[in-house]
Protein backbone atom coordinates (compact mmCIF):
# COMPACT_ATOMS: atom_id res chain seq x y z
CA UNK A 1 0.00 0.00 0.00
CA UNK A 2 2.86 2.38 0.79
CA UNK A 3 4.25 2.38 -2.78
CA UNK A 4 0.86 3.18 -4.22
CA UNK A 5 -1.38 6.13 -3.60
CA UNK A 6 -4.00 5.65 -0.89
CA UNK A 7 -7.31 7.27 -1.81
CA UNK A 8 -9.82 8.29 0.85
CA UNK A 9 -13.07 10.00 -0.05
CA UNK A 10 -14.91 11.68 2.82
CA UNK A 11 -18.48 12.74 2.08
CA UNK A 12 -21.45 14.23 3.88
CA UNK A 13 -23.71 17.23 4.12
CA UNK A 14 -22.63 20.84 4.79
CA UNK A 15 -21.97 21.54 8.46
CA UNK A 16 -21.24 17.92 9.44
CA UNK A 17 -17.50 18.38 9.81
CA UNK A 18 -16.34 16.58 6.66
CA UNK A 19 -13.70 19.20 5.96
CA UNK A 20 -12.23 19.13 9.46
CA UNK A 21 -12.00 15.34 9.30
CA UNK A 22 -10.17 15.48 5.99
CA UNK A 23 -7.84 18.14 7.43
CA UNK A 24 -6.87 15.84 10.30
CA UNK A 25 -6.39 12.89 7.97
CA UNK A 26 -4.17 14.86 5.56
CA UNK A 27 -2.12 16.25 8.41
CA UNK A 28 -1.63 12.76 9.87
CA UNK A 29 -0.61 11.39 6.46
CA UNK A 30 1.95 14.16 6.06
CA UNK A 31 3.36 13.51 9.54
CA UNK A 32 3.63 9.84 8.60
CA UNK A 33 6.02 10.88 5.83
CA UNK A 34 3.76 10.71 2.78
CA UNK A 35 3.23 13.19 0.00
CA UNK A 36 -0.35 14.38 0.39
CA UNK A 37 -3.00 16.12 -1.69
CA UNK A 38 -6.47 16.97 -0.65
CA UNK A 39 -9.26 18.66 -2.54
CA UNK A 40 -12.78 19.76 -1.95
CA UNK A 41 -15.16 22.39 -3.19
CA UNK A 42 -16.12 25.04 -0.65
CA UNK A 43 -18.89 27.45 -1.33
CA UNK A 44 -22.30 25.95 -1.02
CA UNK A 45 -21.28 23.77 1.90
CA UNK A 46 -22.87 25.98 4.58
CA UNK A 47 -26.20 25.79 2.82
CA UNK A 48 -27.14 22.15 3.02
CA UNK A 49 -25.31 21.00 -0.09
CA UNK A 50 -23.28 17.82 -0.60
CA UNK A 51 -19.68 18.06 0.58
CA UNK A 52 -17.01 15.71 -0.66
CA UNK A 53 -13.34 15.83 0.17
CA UNK A 54 -10.68 13.82 -1.63
CA UNK A 55 -7.58 12.89 0.37
CA UNK A 56 -4.71 11.13 -1.43
CA UNK A 57 -1.35 10.14 -0.03
CA UNK A 58 1.64 8.06 -1.07
CA UNK A 59 5.19 8.39 -2.28
CA UNK A 60 4.26 11.03 -4.88
CA UNK A 61 0.75 12.25 -5.55
CA UNK A 62 -0.17 14.07 -8.74
CA UNK A 63 -3.87 14.79 -9.23
CA UNK A 64 -5.77 16.07 -6.19
CA UNK A 65 -8.83 14.18 -7.46
CA UNK A 66 -9.40 10.46 -6.91
CA UNK A 67 -9.96 8.68 -10.22
CA UNK A 68 -13.45 7.15 -10.47
CA UNK A 69 -13.91 3.86 -8.68
CA UNK A 70 -10.50 3.81 -6.99
CA UNK A 71 -11.24 4.96 -3.43
CA UNK A 72 -9.68 2.60 -0.90
CA UNK A 73 -12.10 3.96 1.66
CA UNK A 74 -15.25 6.02 1.33
CA UNK A 75 -16.24 7.51 4.66
CA UNK A 76 -19.81 8.81 4.59
CA UNK A 77 -21.05 11.04 7.38
CA UNK A 78 -24.65 10.56 6.24
CA UNK A 79 -26.57 7.49 5.10
CA UNK A 80 -27.87 8.59 1.68
CA UNK A 81 -24.47 10.11 0.91
CA UNK A 82 -22.95 6.69 1.57
CA UNK A 83 -25.19 5.34 -1.16
CA UNK A 84 -24.50 8.22 -3.54
CA UNK A 85 -20.73 7.68 -3.37
CA UNK A 86 -20.67 3.88 -2.98
CA UNK A 87 -19.72 3.43 -6.64
CA UNK A 88 -16.42 5.17 -5.97
CA UNK A 89 -15.17 2.39 -3.69
CA UNK A 90 -12.51 0.18 -5.32
CA UNK A 91 -12.87 -3.58 -5.84
CA UNK A 92 -11.74 -4.61 -2.34
CA UNK A 93 -12.24 -1.21 -0.75
CA UNK A 94 -14.27 -0.28 2.30
CA UNK A 95 -17.36 1.84 2.78
CA UNK A 96 -17.95 3.21 6.28
CA UNK A 97 -21.35 4.84 6.72
CA UNK A 98 -22.52 6.87 9.65
CA UNK A 99 -26.06 5.85 10.47
CA UNK A 100 -27.46 9.38 10.41
CA UNK A 101 -30.12 10.69 8.05
CA UNK A 102 -30.32 14.31 6.97
CA UNK A 103 -33.41 14.76 4.85
CA UNK A 104 -33.18 17.70 2.44
CA UNK A 105 -36.07 20.10 1.85
CA UNK A 106 -36.31 18.80 -1.70
CA UNK A 107 -37.60 15.47 -0.34
CA UNK A 108 -40.81 17.35 0.50
CA UNK A 109 -41.58 17.77 -3.19
CA UNK A 110 -43.31 15.15 -5.29
CA UNK A 111 -40.28 14.60 -7.50
CA UNK A 112 -37.84 13.25 -4.93
CA UNK A 113 -37.79 10.73 -2.12
CA UNK A 114 -35.16 10.03 0.46
CA UNK A 115 -34.04 6.39 -0.07
CA UNK A 116 -35.81 3.95 2.23
CA UNK A 117 -32.81 1.80 3.15
CA UNK A 118 -29.71 3.60 1.91
CA UNK A 119 -27.24 1.44 3.81
CA UNK A 120 -28.87 -1.79 2.64
CA UNK A 121 -28.68 -0.51 -0.94
CA UNK A 122 -25.05 0.46 -0.46
CA UNK A 123 -24.24 -3.02 0.78
CA UNK A 124 -25.42 -4.39 -2.56
CA UNK A 125 -22.78 -2.26 -4.27
CA UNK A 126 -19.89 -2.57 -1.80
CA UNK A 127 -19.18 -5.92 -0.18
CA UNK A 128 -17.29 -4.40 2.72
CA UNK A 129 -19.82 -1.92 4.04
CA UNK A 130 -19.75 -1.03 7.71
CA UNK A 131 -22.54 0.96 9.32
CA UNK A 132 -21.81 2.87 12.47
CA UNK A 133 -23.85 4.87 14.98
CA UNK A 134 -21.36 7.72 15.11
CA UNK A 135 -23.71 10.13 16.82
CA UNK A 136 -24.59 7.63 19.57
CA UNK A 137 -20.93 6.96 20.22
CA UNK A 138 -20.11 10.67 20.22
CA UNK A 139 -22.91 11.42 22.66
CA UNK A 140 -21.76 8.58 24.88
CA UNK A 141 -18.22 9.97 24.94
CA UNK A 142 -19.50 13.42 25.76
CA UNK A 143 -20.62 15.61 22.83
CA UNK A 144 -22.34 15.28 19.44
CA UNK A 145 -19.48 17.40 18.05
CA UNK A 146 -17.16 14.41 18.37
CA UNK A 147 -18.78 12.56 15.45
CA UNK A 148 -16.00 13.37 13.05
CA UNK A 149 -13.30 12.06 15.37
CA UNK A 150 -15.33 8.89 15.95
CA UNK A 151 -15.60 8.37 12.21
CA UNK A 152 -11.91 9.00 11.63
CA UNK A 153 -11.18 6.41 14.31
CA UNK A 154 -13.43 4.01 12.45
CA UNK A 155 -11.31 4.14 9.28
CA UNK A 156 -7.94 4.39 11.03
CA UNK A 157 -7.43 0.62 11.05
CA UNK A 158 -7.38 0.67 7.24
CA UNK A 159 -4.63 3.24 6.95
CA UNK A 160 -0.82 3.02 7.12
CA UNK A 161 -0.67 5.77 9.75
CA UNK A 162 0.69 4.84 13.20
CA UNK A 163 -1.39 5.47 16.34
CA UNK A 164 1.15 7.89 17.86
CA UNK A 165 0.85 10.16 14.87
CA UNK A 166 -2.93 10.19 15.07
CA UNK A 167 -2.69 11.05 18.73
CA UNK A 168 -0.23 13.90 18.12
CA UNK A 169 -2.33 15.37 15.32
CA UNK A 170 -5.56 15.15 17.28
CA UNK A 171 -3.93 16.81 20.29
CA UNK A 172 -2.66 19.62 18.13
CA UNK A 173 -5.72 20.28 16.01
CA UNK A 174 -8.78 19.97 18.28
CA UNK A 175 -10.00 22.82 20.52
CA UNK A 176 -8.02 23.11 23.74
CA UNK A 177 -9.60 21.22 26.62
CA UNK A 178 -11.27 18.64 24.35
CA UNK A 179 -8.11 16.61 23.62
CA UNK A 180 -8.89 13.66 25.92
CA UNK A 181 -12.52 13.47 24.78
CA UNK A 182 -11.43 13.49 21.15
CA UNK A 183 -8.84 10.77 21.73
CA UNK A 184 -11.48 8.68 23.47
CA UNK A 185 -13.90 9.28 20.60
CA UNK A 186 -11.21 8.22 18.12
CA UNK A 187 -10.56 5.02 20.05
CA UNK A 188 -14.27 4.21 20.37
CA UNK A 189 -14.63 4.66 16.61
CA UNK A 190 -11.77 2.26 15.97
CA UNK A 191 -13.24 -0.28 18.42
CA UNK A 192 -16.71 -0.01 16.92
CA UNK A 193 -15.24 -0.76 13.53
CA UNK A 194 -13.33 -3.76 14.83
CA UNK A 195 -16.48 -5.07 16.49
CA UNK A 196 -18.44 -4.65 13.25
CA UNK A 197 -15.75 -6.49 11.31
CA UNK A 198 -15.82 -9.38 13.77
CA UNK A 199 -19.59 -9.50 13.68
CA UNK A 200 -19.59 -9.59 9.88
CA UNK A 201 -16.97 -12.31 9.62
CA UNK A 202 -18.76 -14.43 12.23
CA UNK A 203 -21.91 -14.06 10.13
CA UNK A 204 -20.06 -15.49 7.19
CA UNK A 205 -18.92 -18.60 9.08
Partner 1 sequence: MVKIKKLPEIKEPTRTLLSGNEAIALGAREMGVYFASAYPGTPSTEILETFARLPGVKAQWSTNEKVAFETGIGAALAGARTMVCMKHVGVNVAMDPLMTFAYTGTVAGFLLVSADDPEMHSSQNEQDNRNLARFAKIPMFEPSDSREAHDFTKIALEVSERFATPVMLRITTRISHAKGIVELEPWPTPEVTGFKHDIERFVMVPQFARKRHHEVELRLKRLMRYSEESSLNRVEPGKGPVGIVTGGIAYQHVREVLPDAPLFKIGISNPLPVEAIRAFAATVERLIVVEELDPFYEEQMHAAGIPCEGKRYFPIEGELNPDIVAEGLREAGALNGQAPEIHPVGVEVLPRPPVLCPGCAHRSVFTALKKMKAEVFGDIGCYTLGALQPLSALHTCICMGASVGMASGVQQVEGSKRPVVAIIGDSTFLHGGITGLLDAVYNKAPVTIIILDNRATAMTGGQQHPGTGYTLQGEETFAVDYIKLSKALGVKHAFPTDPYDYGETLKTLKRAVSIPEPTVVVTTRPCVLYPVKLEPEPYRVLLDICNGCGACIRIGCPAVILIEETTDKGLHKVTIDPDTCTGCRLCLQVCPVDAIEPVGEIEEADKSEAEC
Question: Does 121 contact partner 1 by CB under 8 A?
Answer: yes
Task: Report long-range pairs for 161-167 (Cβ below 8 Å, ≥24 apart).
Answer: 161/28, 161/29, 161/31, 161/32, 162/32, 165/28, 165/31, 165/32, 166/28
Site for partner 1 in 28-57 (CB under 8 A): 30, 35-44, 46-50
Question: Does 179 contact partner 1 by CB under 8 A?
Answer: no
In whole angstroms, what is the distance from residue 128 CA to residue 154 CA? Answer: 13
Question: Does 151 contact partner 1 by CB under 8 A?
Answer: no
Question: Does 6 contact partner 1 by CB under 8 A?
Answer: no
Shortest distance in whole angstroms from residue 205 CB to partner 1: 26
* Neighbour-count burial for 74-90, b at 16+ CB within 10 Å, e otherwise: bbbbbbbbbbbbbebbb
Q: Select from 38, 33, 31 the least CA-distant residue to 8.
A: 38
Q: Between β-strands 50-58 and 35-40, what pairing exists: parallel, antiparallel or unpaired?
A: antiparallel
Residue with Cβ nearer partner 1 (109 or 202):
109
Question: Does 80 contact partner 1 by CB under 8 A?
Answer: yes
Question: Does 59 contact partner 1 by CB under 8 A?
Answer: no
Q: Are 18 and 53 in contact (CB under 8 A)?
A: yes
Question: Does 171 contact partner 1 by CB under 8 A?
Answer: no
Phi, psi at 126, each rounded to 5°: -120, 120
Residue with Cβ nearer partner 1 (63 or 200):
63
Residue with Cβ nearer partner 1 (40 or 188):
40
Question: Does 136 contact partner 1 by CB under 8 A?
Answer: no
Q: Are 20 and 54 in contact (CB under 8 A)?
A: no
Residue with Cβ nearer partner 1 (115 or 142):
115
Tell me which residues touch partner 1 (CB under 8 A): 13-14, 26-27, 30, 35-44, 46-50, 61-65, 67-70, 80-81, 83-84, 86-89, 103-109, 112-115, 118, 121-122, 124-126
Amino acid sequence: MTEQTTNILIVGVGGQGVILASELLSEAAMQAGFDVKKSEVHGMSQRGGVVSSHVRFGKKVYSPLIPAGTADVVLAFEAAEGLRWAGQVSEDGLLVVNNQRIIPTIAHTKDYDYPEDPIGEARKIVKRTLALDGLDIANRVGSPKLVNTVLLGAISGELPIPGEIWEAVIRRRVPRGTEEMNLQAFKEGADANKAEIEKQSSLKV
